[in-house]
Amino acid sequence: MRLALYQPDIPQNTGTMLRMAACLGIEVDLIGPAGFDMSDRAFRRAGLDYLAHVSTRRHVGWDGFLANRRIESADSRIVLLTTRGSKSHLEFQFRADDCLLMGRESAGVPDHVHDACDARVRVPMAPGLRSLNVAVCAAIVVGEALRQTDGFD
């Protein structure tokens, strides 16, 4: 199981998701450009002492991320977490090799990224509300995906 962050905007959300990934033992792809300095030095300065405990890969952009995935894990799926998803994360059948993709806090993902994903899931919410915080959404779906795939140790 992997978590991919597409051009994250808010360092605190990124830090929260990296800490979650460290604690749950999942790897993270950081797809740039980000809306903030993503250097190890900047993360340490922000107090992300969990950085040493999470395996991360940094990609200059979407195309580099896709190229790397084709080489290393051509059979795994990219599952986009989006408010435009037609299926609830509770109805979706996750696989242990899925890569869960989170969009930007400010704009989600562009249509070409949306279209390139193998599946699109949403977290059900009360009617009339727009969206959850990206880190909260990631935690909800990662938890369900790990539960389904016996990913908790």
The neighbouring-strand residues paired with 101 are: 4, 80
Does position 47 have pLDDT exceeding 60, yes or no? no
Q: How confident is the model at residue 46 (pLDDT cuts 50, 70, 90)?
A: low
**Cα–Cα dist 101/108, whole Å:** 10
pLDDT tens sequence across 93-131: 999 999 999 999 989 999 999 999 999 999 999 999 988
For the record, the structure tokens of 41 come out as 């030095």
**Cα–Cα dist 27/55, whole Å:** 5
The phi, psi pair for 113, rounded to 5°, reads: -75, -45
pLDDT for 30 equals 95
We find that the CATH architecture of domain 2-148 is 3-Layer(aba) Sandwich (3.40)
Does position 45 have pLDDT exceeding 80, yes or no? no
pLDDT for 12 equals 86
pLDDT tens sequence across 136-146: 999 999 999 99
Q: How confident is the model at residue 36 (pLDDT cuts 50, 70, 90)?
A: confident
Once rounded to an integer, what is the mean pLDDT over residues 23-51?
A: 82
User: What percentage of the chain carries pLDDT values higher than 70?
Assistant: 95
Q: Which residue has the tokens 């539960």?
A: 147
**pLDDT, mean over the chain:** 91
Does position 42 have pLDDT exceeding 90, yes or no? no
For the record, the structure tokens of 109 come out as 């993902």
